[in-house]
Chains A and B, each alone.
Chain A
Amino acid sequence: MSYRAILICLAVLVLALFTASLLIGPSGISPLQGLGALFSGEGAPGLVMRELRLPRALLGVGVGAALGLSGAAMQGFLRNPLAEPGLIGTSAGAALGAVIAIQTGLYAVFALALPLAALAGAGVAVALILTLAGREGRALVLILAGIAVSALAGAATALVLNLAPSPYAAAEIVFWMMGSLADRSMTHVLLATPFLILGAMILLKTGPGLDALSLGEDAASAMGISLKRLRLQIVFGTALMVGAATAVAGAVGFVGLVVPHLLRKAVGSRPSRLLPASALGGAAMLLTADIATRVIAPERDLKLGVLTAIVGAPFFLAMIRKMGRET
């Protein structure tokens, strides 16, 4: 299948899943009624469609695309199939910000306090990474700095949990960290969108640089690629996308790791082509997972991050086994 055909198929898949996500839910609105209500916005069905399901489906697309795209960019940049978007510490930073907002009760006073605090956390993590990894730093230094910042943010998150004022606050924090798209509003969508779009624009431009990097850092820079600039693009693009995604959806693992793997062969292993394909693939996977949480256990509020991890981890194991047999 040609590259263009693959992108078209993925886009159609995302559109179908987006529609399915709009039409599936516990309130028992029929598909036709639902679509009508979405456009008219009238009555209770209109409210459900416009205020609950539409933001949920939109965030599914945005968050999934963010994870897929930044996963592909990170793997291409580090030339390592085990890299994932959380590697540079932004998701851990965002989680810490969000947890602090829950702990202090700020989010109860002001609904957007949580995503804003998460974005601030991601920003602090990026600043730390760039300070630690220095201006010249090569990929390895970046990875180590990311691990250090993630560990620090993880420890601080554990401390906040440890000092939680009540079991309820602790449970709240734990549940938030499992990741979910339930009960998000259009405000969340509006808050995340600019960050997601800016991050996507930055990451989609890194294609030629990532292609050149397949030949190593030295060969790439001799081919006219500025590694310094590429590194900043990757760090900022990933931080914007993953920071915003984590701020509105919590921690959702494995999508950024698995999606690029699934699509790599299909796009001829070319890092630049993997970027848009993984963005679409990530959106499709996240929408599927989010629909599954509603279908599998509608009454139990199954968390999105739990589902992606439960499905993603064994899947990843199978892929590693396959890779081991090939080499």
Chain B
Amino acid sequence: MLSLQNLTALRGQCPVVDDITASIEPGEFIGLIGPNGAGKTTLMRAALGLIAHRGESSLAQLDAMARARAAAWLPQAREIAWGLSVAELVALGRLPHGRDQLGAGAHAVDAALTRMGLENYRERAATQLSGGEQARVLIARALAQQSPLILADEPIAGLDPAAQIDTMEVFSAHARAGGAVLCSLHDLGLAARHCSRVWVMDRGRLVADGAPADVLSEALLAEVFHIRAHFQTTAQGPVFQPLSTLDR
């Protein structure tokens, strides 16, 4: 789905993304974690070819329209200009597929609206909705794009707990259906429960890559996040709770 070879992105002279080699296979839901400023957003934007980079990204090599059909991008800033209706906004996700608003396109839009529980919002102006509802509309737009890969930058930031879990489940389902998701987030607990794999970034480098239970070790948490945490696999799945910060 995505393969990165020695991907490097510079800000001035300083590498914000430093020599990252990794790949994503179908069926994977990857949580991209790391402290603020670790380079998570820059990694995703460089992988999409939205910013100048060295090294290779399989996505960045595609032409713009083919890339848009291969990968959908949910930026962190939830921008919605003008008072577009929810249905029209979600239909923007069909742009990379040309003019098929009546057939497959309309079907994809309906499915995305249903999946995000927005059927009753179709004609509402998206700008009049609450922040959480807008987040759902924007995710629906990405789903309507029907690209196998979804890259999402902190999609659950600012959402209530139910909406956070629901968003993670939408992504899990997308991965189970044969797609893949790369999603940056700060909630390690949700990452541990929902992601099939996590990538840990620290100061531009990919410092760990594997199943959450293997990666979120005491040593790594101390080294990268400067925290101590409780992490246990229970009958109700993995439970992760940060406890305290460590002296730096």
Residues of A participating in the B interface, judged by any CB pair closer than 8 Å: 79, 208, 211-216, 218-219, 221-226, 264-265, 268-271
Contact = CB atoms under 8 A, between A and B. Distances in A.
B85 interface: yes
A134 B72 CA distance: 28
Contacts of A214: 79-82, 84, 89, 92
Contacts of B84: 214, 268-270
A216 B92 CA distance: 12
B68 A211 contact: no
A214 B82 CA distance: 7
Interface of B: 45, 48, 50, 64-65, 67-69, 71-75, 77, 79-85, 88-89, 92-93, 95-96, 125, 138, 141, 145
A223 B50 contact: no
A270 B127 CA distance: 13
Contacts of B68: 222-224
Contacts, number: 77
Contacts of B89: 214-215
28 contacts: A211-B95, A214-B81, A214-B89, A215-B89, A215-B138, A216-B75, A216-B79, A216-B81, A219-B79, A221-B64, A222-B50, A222-B67, A222-B72, A223-B73, A223-B93, A223-B96, A224-B65, A224-B67, A224-B68, A224-B69, A225-B95, A226-B64, A269-B83, A269-B84, A269-B85, A269-B125, A270-B88, A271-B82
Contacts of B80: 214-215
A219 B71 CA distance: 11
B73 A270 contact: no
B65 A218 contact: no
Nearest to A211: B92
A211 B83 CA distance: 12
A223 B75 contact: no
B79 A212 contact: no
Contact of A215 (B83, B85, B92): B92
B95 A222 contact: no
Contacts of A215: 79-81, 89, 92, 138, 141
Contacts of A225: 64, 95
Given A79-B82, A264-B83, 10 more contacts: A214-B92, A215-B92, A219-B75, A221-B50, A222-B48, A222-B67, A222-B72, A223-B68, A224-B95, A224-B96
A161 B125 CA distance: 49
Given A269-B82, A269-B84, A218 B45 contact: yes
Give the 5 A-B residue pairs with the shortest CB-CB distance, closest first: A216-B79, A222-B73, A224-B68, A79-B81, A269-B82
Contacts of A269: 82-85, 125
A195 B45 CA distance: 39
B82 to A, nearest CB: 4
Contacts of B138: 215
Contacts of A213: 81
Given A79-B81, A269-B83, A212 B72 contact: no
Contacts of A224: 64-65, 67-69, 95-96
Contacts of B50: 218, 221-222
Contacts of B48: 222
Contacts of B75: 216, 218-219, 222
A224 B84 CA distance: 20
Q: Which of A211, A219, A268, A269 has the most CB of B within 10 A?
A: A219
A216 B77 contact: yes
A71 to B, nearest CB: 15
Q: Which of A211, A212, A224 has the most CB of B within 10 A?
A: A224
Nearest to A209: B95
Nearest to A222: B73
A21 B145 CA distance: 48
Contacts of A264: 82-83
Q: Which of A79, A222, A265 has the most CB of B within 10 A?
A: A222
B95 A268 contact: no
A213 B75 CA distance: 13
A223 B65 CA distance: 7
A222 B88 contact: no
A213 B82 CA distance: 10
Contacts of B73: 218-219, 222-223
A96 B184 CA distance: 52
A278 to B, nearest CB: 13
Contacts of B95: 208, 211-212, 223-225
Contacts of A212: 92, 95
A82 to B, nearest CB: 13
A219 B89 CA distance: 12
A51 B147 CA distance: 59
A274 to B, nearest CB: 9
Nearest to A264: B82
Contacts of B71: 222
Contacts of B79: 214-216, 219
